[in-house]
A and B are shown apart, each in its own frame.
Chain A
Amino acid sequence: MRVLAALWRHPSGRIGATIIALYLMAALLGAVGITPHNALKQFPIDRLKAPSVNYLMGTDLLGRDTLSRLMLGIGQSFVVAFASVACATLAGTVIGLLAAWWGSLWDGILMRVMDVLLAFPAILLALLIIAIVGPGTFTSVAAIAIVYTPIFARVVRGPALSLKRRDFVDAARTFGSSQGYILTRHLLLNLVAPLTVQVTLALAWALLTEAGLSFLGLGTQPPAPSLGLMLSDSKNLMQHAPWLMLFPGLTIMLGILGFNLTGDALRDILDPRTERRTA
């Protein structure tokens, strides 16, 4: 599509897209089991080995290869991130669109409910949800989705409200077009641009939160590898085995960076306001 081509031409977009592509590849390879070593198998003899040709990123306390675990960890993070953002996008867009379209009373009710959810710092809300349902991958997805839904609702509602007042929507009403037609072809189609940007940024945030939750031990449970957990385990071994902290940390950072850069580039490409600024 034209957008992908434009993304490639954009300097930071190119970097962001490359990172995401690399990560996707690593995740896929990890998922099908093509890793340098078996990520779950423990080799106590080789524990706490510094990075070498054999173990490119060293090994941990139980002799597991860091690189292989990272690849699986990326896969975990991506699954959680994509799943949760997909849910949040769906729910948030529907709520935001309907709130804008129906207006007055329903708008008030729906947005107040969103406000209640937004009254909690994100992590806190996630903690509460995890406390109820118990830690795990599925819970992380649910928690992040619930936390992000009101943000999407807000992001959609604003532009939807101004789109509603545009002449081409009025024109559609004069023809007698059905509400469904107007909502999908006229409103939704024109919301794709801000939504795409927000989705990308949401993915960055989801990665960050998933890592954070895992760090606290509330995300993906062991023995499945997760980036946050690897980081939290490395805390006490920092002095002796810095590679156990550095590589997972860098991996998380780079992943978030990839999505942030891509999101920024997409915003530059899709947001008409930037035309004003180029001069």
Chain B
Amino acid sequence: MNYVAQRLLTFPLILFGVSILVFVAIRLIPGDAITAMLGTEAGLLTPAQRASLAAYFGIDQPILTQYFRWAGGLFHGDLGISATYGRPVLAIILERFPLTLELALLSMVIALLTGVPLGVLAATRNERPSDLVVRMLAMLGQSTPSFVLGLLIIYVLSVYFGIVPTMGTFTPLTVDPLANLGQLIFPAITLGFAFAASVTRISRSAMLDVLSDDYIRTARSKGASQGSVVWQHALPNALIPVVTLSGVEFGYLLGGAVIVEQVFALPGLGRLVLDAISQRDYALVQGTVLFIALNFLVVNLIVDLLYVALDPRIRLGSN
């Protein structure tokens, strides 16, 4: 109980810190906001027009007031209006979120389905040929940047198979599953490859640790079979670090896949931030970054709460 309470208490604290960081960071971006928004036309404005625009966007108020107005708006789900699109920021984010979410989920599924079995296999065949092969593959996967792999995949597909992945508009899963998957499968493989490599390595390492623990020896002394030892005794203990890592990487993918989005020209959250920064769309940058950070924090919190389910030592404390 103490553990859960502690985590739940620090969560708003960190969120608060994040919001301040984002707010300050945006304000530090050089360039007068109005000039940035209107470009050269800003020079044509009269002082009165400037003042009214400033009042409209609220940038004439003292910093503290601006922060509280913005923070207050957050509770209503109001992240402001995007200057580039002229629409509420939250709406734009929510349009793009499904793609990012789906991509992250697909990558994680690929990573877990390949990584965990491979890691367990390598651990049980420690130092034998299959172990070495798995380790080499995993090492390769960790060392290949996503954009390199992405480009490679596009190259192979276009040159040898004549397939050009659809770029630009995004077909949601609900509208046309096949087209949707067709568009996302290659980016998912690209991201999933490195993710899978990490999962493989951590699964293998955790399993090796657990397999040399004393209680495994006890299980064997009772006459338990190798299969039972691996899957019922060892794996539940080894899963804990795997869950942590997967959670962290999943959270990362929820906004950090900007490079892959760029390579495959996907309209995701990462690219949204990138474009918004270059367009000096402060409200959009602010809102999107905060949204991404919030997701990340929530995922981490869920992972921490999963610990409680997985590890009775945390769930029940010591007597």
* Interface residue ranges of B153-203 to A (CB < 8 Å): 154-155, 158-159
Interface residues of A in 229-259 (CB under 8 A from B): 231, 234-235, 238-239, 242, 245, 249, 252-253, 256-257
Minimal beta-carbon separation of B186 from chain A (angstroms): 15
**Distance in Å from the Cβ of B227 to the closest Cβ of chain A?**
21
Tell me if B5 counts as interface (CB < 8 A to partner A): no
Could you say which of A134, A216, A249, A260 contacts B262, with CB atoms under 8 Å apart?
A216
Shortest beta-carbon distance from A117 to chain B in Å: 8
Tell me whether A249 and B152 are in contact (CB under 8 A). yes
Check A120/B292 contact, CB under 8 A, given A112-B14, A127-B258, A257-B140: yes
Is B63 an interface residue when CB atoms closer than 8 A count as contact? no
Q: What residue in chain B is nearest A205 (Cβ atoms)?
A: B142
- What CA separation (Å) do A239 and B154 show in the bound complex? 10
- B151 / chain A contacts, CB cutoff of 8 Å: 231, 234-235, 238, 245, 249
Question: Chain B interface secondary structure, helix, strand, loop or mixed?
Answer: helix
Contact across chains for A242 and B143 when beta carbons are under 8 A apart:
no
User: Are the CB atoms of A123 and B148 closer together than 8 Å?
Assistant: no
Contact of B17 among A116, A128, A134, A212 (CB under 8 A): A116
- Categorize the interface residue count of chain B: 35 or more
Per the CB 8 Å criterion, the residue count for chain A at the interface is 44
Q: Does B71 contact A (CB under 8 A)?
A: no
1/0 per residue, CB under 8 A from A, across B1-27: the answer is 000000000100110011001100100
In angstroms, Cα B155 to Cα A99, docked, is: 49
For B126, the chain A residues whose CB sits under 8 A away are 277
Q: Which of A119, A235, A257 contacts B139 (CB 8 A)?
A: A257
Docked complex Cα distance between A9 and B86 (Å): 63
A276 contact from B212, B262, B277, Cβ within 8 A: B212
- A46: Cβ under 8 A from any B Cβ: no
- Contact A211 B17, CB 8 Å, known A122-B256, A127-B273, A249-B152: no
Q: Is A55 part of the contact surface with B, judged by Cβ < 8 Å?
A: no
Q: Which residues of B in the span 266-294 have a Cβ within 8 Å of any Cβ on A? A: 270, 273-274, 277, 285, 289, 292-293
Complex Cα spacing A239 to B161, Å? 12
Ranked 7 nearest A-B pairs via Cβ = A121-B256, A116-B17, A257-B143, A256-B143, A249-B148, A131-B277, A132-B28
